[in-house]
Structure formats: C-alpha cells, structure tokens
Structure 1
C-alpha cells in the first residue's frame, strides 16, 4: 500500500513538473524573449547563446542543465534528479512548441517585466513545490558555498550578476536591467507558490500576564500556545514567554490582542517556512 502511495505521489509530481515547465516556457516565449527580456541563471545563459547562434533555445536548456542535474542527483537524491529532468525536458520542449505563439504583450516594458516574471515564477515555483527544479544555478551556488567563504544567497546573487552582464551583450543595458527586474519578480512568485499565500508566523511574547494572554488568544483567535518560564540576564527577574504559531492572515488580529491585553509586552515575530504536526490546525471560533 505504501509503495502504491509513493508511486502515485511520484506520478503526480512528474505531472506538476511537466505543467510547471510548460508554464515557464510560455512566459519566456510569449512575453519575455519577444520583448528582449531574459531570465537569470542557466535559462538566461541559454537564451543568450540561442540568440547568438540561432539554435533553438530548448537545445541549450537541456544541454547546459545536464551537469547541474547530476549535481542535484549527488547532493539531493535520485527522485530530485528524475523530477528535475522531467521539468527541464518539459521547459525545453515547451520553448520549441511555443516559439511561434503570439506575443501577448508588446512594447510596454513595465507590463512585460511584471507579467513575464509572474508567469515564469509560477512555472518554476510549481516545479520546486513538487520536488524538482527548472534551473541549475541554485545547485551550483550550494556546491560553491561549501568550498568558498560565502553564503549560498550571496553566491546566487553574484552568479546572476554575471548572467545579466552576459545578457547585456545581446539585449543591451536596458534589456539586462529589465531582465533583472523580471528575475526579481519571478523569485518572489516562486516563494509564494512554494509557501502558499497565507504562510505562517511565530509570535514570541514576553508578558507579565501570561495566563490572560493565552486565554485571550485561544478565545478570540482559536489558537493554542506554549508557555515557558525564562529569566532576565541582568535583572534576574522571572518572566513567561508565550510561543504561538499563526497564519499570516491572523497577524493583525494577534497584534490587536497583544496591544489590548498587555501594551508593554515584548514581542518578536518571525517567518515560518513549514509547520507540521502538533495542533497547528486551529479550532473553530464564533
């Protein structure tokens, strides 16, 4: 039974990676490339080489990503490699199929970068959400970060700066700047697709009235919380720290509750990338 579930899940993820690749291909061929706007990463380099040689973009998307798929296989695992190959193949074939589709936006640079970035980010985010990847530059950054004294995000930024310099040789400075903007928008959309629109946040609240705070949060927001006794490092006084995980839509309500119950409370709020187990599912409130 478990084997059947794994096979069904793998099949579903493969289909989602194919759809993600096709969506990204549509964004490239119907919005970005016809308006001399590129993307970052291996996709951006592939676009430049395709423009210089006249060879279809899909060929370079497939060839240039091969070493990074192998790297993903070694660093992450077989299923990631299989799903990435599926997504990249879909993206490559999709750019060939959609090469002559009508351009949906022409001339409006702001609209081109926004719409193109959204479509591209939607496709890439769908692939990442389902265990694959459509571009190999992130894996390269992970590998280099282990050998160089730089973080992964710093290396991704540096590598993409190099890509956009290369893009400027074909699309000009304006094209490179627009490509960078489209890439930024796509990265934000990828994050939304991966994490969802609601997301989650953790509130850590240090208050002098912990019992009232916990009861109010439970009654008015339908959320439970954990309570820990802590001690001030200098004052040596004992306090209580409340930890509560909520979704982003409940953030304003939580802040109102804190302000009403204890305006002097010390509050720290931070993003949560994933929540599993426990009783995160809130109870109904009326």
Structure 2
C-alpha cells in the first residue's frame, strides 16, 4: 500500500512540474516572497481602512481602480438603487488586467499582484464601515495618509496594487517610455465624474486626498530616490570591494587627487545609490575606511542605465 501511494505521489509531482503555474510557484519560493506577501497584506489592510473609515463617510474618492470602483458603486446605488459592493467592482476591474499581465508582463508579477488585489478586496469587503467623523476635510486628510502609506509599503516590497500600474507597465514595455499620464487621465476622470455627480466640493476633497496620498507614498517609498556619493579615500580597493559585494553598485575611479593641506595623494570614488541603500552604505564606509571623506548629494537625476535592486 505504501509503495502504491509513493508511486502515485511521484506521478503527481511529475505531472505538476510540467504545469507552468507549478513552475512559477516553485521559483517564487526561492525569492523573498515573505516580504512581498507582507507588503500585500499591509496595503490591503490600510487601503480598506482608508475606504471604509474615511473615504466612504466623507464621500471622498480614491485614486486609480479603487476610485473607479467607488464611483461605479455610488452610481449604481444612486441611479439604480443597487447595492454593488466596492470590493466586487474593484476585483472585477482588475481580473481582465491580470489576465493580460500574465501573458504580457510576467507570471511572478501577476501572481503577487493577484495576491495583493485579493487581500485588498477581502479587507474592503469585510472591514466594518465605521464613521469616525462626518467632517469631509478630516476624512480626506486621514484617508489620504492611510492609502499613501499602504501604497508606499507595497512599492517598498516590490508589490504592485494592480489597476493602472498594469496598464502603465504594458505601455512602457511597448513604447519604452514612462507613462505617468495614464494614472493622471484615470484620476482626472474620477474627479470629473465625482464632481458632476455628487458635487464639486467632493471632487476638490478627492484632489486633496490624492495629493496627500502621493506625498505619503514618496515618504515611505524611498527606493526611487537616487543619491550620488563622492568618496575621497586612501584605501580605494577595500571600499570598492565592499560596495560591489554589499550593494552591487558600480564605482567610477578618479586617481591622482591631491589634498591641498598636506598634499597627500588620494583617490576619488563616485557611485550612485538609492536612499533605501544609504544605511548600508554608511555601514560599509565605517568598515572599509573610517577616515574617508564622504559627500552625498540627494535626489540626483540620472541619464543612462541604472538598475533598481530587488
């Protein structure tokens, strides 16, 4: 009997490994998937709090697909007296985009995005609807803070919230250009519909929420902010080795630098890091050369190839 079940198990594994979905799941297990799952959960939780605790009571509309789902649900209730759950509309709008993403963007991206969308839909559906205040401005501020924090944590953990992210990536893959105008068009449409249907004051509150959310996202998600470090050192080999090993960043070497005070020969090293890597960079410099002089410029613009770390 044991031999029979062992044989059956082996046959099942062999068949499963031929399946594309199984191979994707197996490869995901080798990555830092725990961080991505945590990013999905945090985004789902905070976005549901933003919608159910602040946006809905204040009649404020979110950005992206979440905002579109709010609009569809509100229109159905206002004009057709139908109670259409926001979570259901949100999920329905994302499903066709996820199908396209599976074939056009990548399997791992789609699976993690599907997990994020699922968590967000579940939390929005089952999170209780709590009215903390009827003041639309207070709801706008705190809703924007919650949503922006959730988006920031998702981006920090390499997780996409779906919706307009998928559309932007598809167009960028096709044209090679950044497509910030996509989210701008979607968000402008949301504000326009909200203003025409429910009153322009709510559209204006929604714009404020969008601004606060984007600022909060920038505070949390620092990976896209790039910094240039100029290092003046007497031990360039040690510094370069540790930067390569720990940060996987390239280094430009300028030899023959001379200090004006004691005319000591130095080497200047230039490297570009992200703000998220800055703590590791400081640790590296303490280990490699405590006496090195380091100057760091914040938010530098890059022309050329710069690889984002995972």
Classify the TM-score, shorter chain.
Answer: 0.5 to 0.7
Q: Where do 5+ consecutive residues of structure 2 fail to align?
A: 1-25, 78-83, 235-241, 244-250, 256-266, 280-295
Contact 2:164 2:182 in 1 (8 A): no
Determine which structure has more spread, i.e. the larger CA radius of gyration.
Answer: 2
Equivalent in the alignment of 1:119: 146
Correspondence list, 1:38-57, <5 A: 38-54=61-77, 55-57=84-86
CA shift digits 1:54-100 (9 cap, x unpaired): 311111010011122223323431122111111111111211212x4
Structure 2 length normalisation: TM-score?
0.62
User: Equivalent of 1:25, from 31, 45, 48?
Assistant: 48
Q: Number of residues paired by the alignment?
A: 239
Structure 1 length normalisation: TM-score?
0.67
Change (3 A) 1:65 1:37: same
Contact 1:227 1:241 in 2 (8 A): yes
Could you tell me how far 1:50 is from its partner in structure 2? 0.6
Contact 1:56 1:96 in 2 (8 A): yes
CA shift digits 1:224-264 (9 cap, x unpaired): 974437xxxxxxxxxx97625575989xxxxxxxxxxxxxx
Could you tell me how far 1:7 is from its partner in structure 2? 5.1
User: Equivalent of 1:62, from 83, 91, 95?
Assistant: 91
User: Equivalent of 1:95, from 109, 121, 124?
Assistant: 124
Could you tell me how far 1:48 is from its partner in structure 2? 0.6
Change (3 A) 1:181 1:34: same
Contact 2:61 2:190 in 1 (8 A): no
Change (3 A) 1:69 1:202: same
Contact 2:152 2:216 in 1 (8 A): yes
Change (3 A) 1:21 1:271: farther
Aligned to 2:131, the other structure's residue is in SS state coil
Contact 2:227 2:297 in 1 (8 A): no
User: Equivalent of 1:165, from 192, 199, 203?
Assistant: 192
Distance in 1, Cα, partners of 2:73 & 2:36 = 29
Q: Does 1:139 align with 2:162?
A: no
Q: Does 1:156 align with 2:183?
A: yes
Distance in 2, Cα, partners of 1:166 & 1:65 = 20
User: Equivalent of 1:190, from 217, 222, 231?
Assistant: 217
Contact 1:200 1:274 in 2 (8 A): no
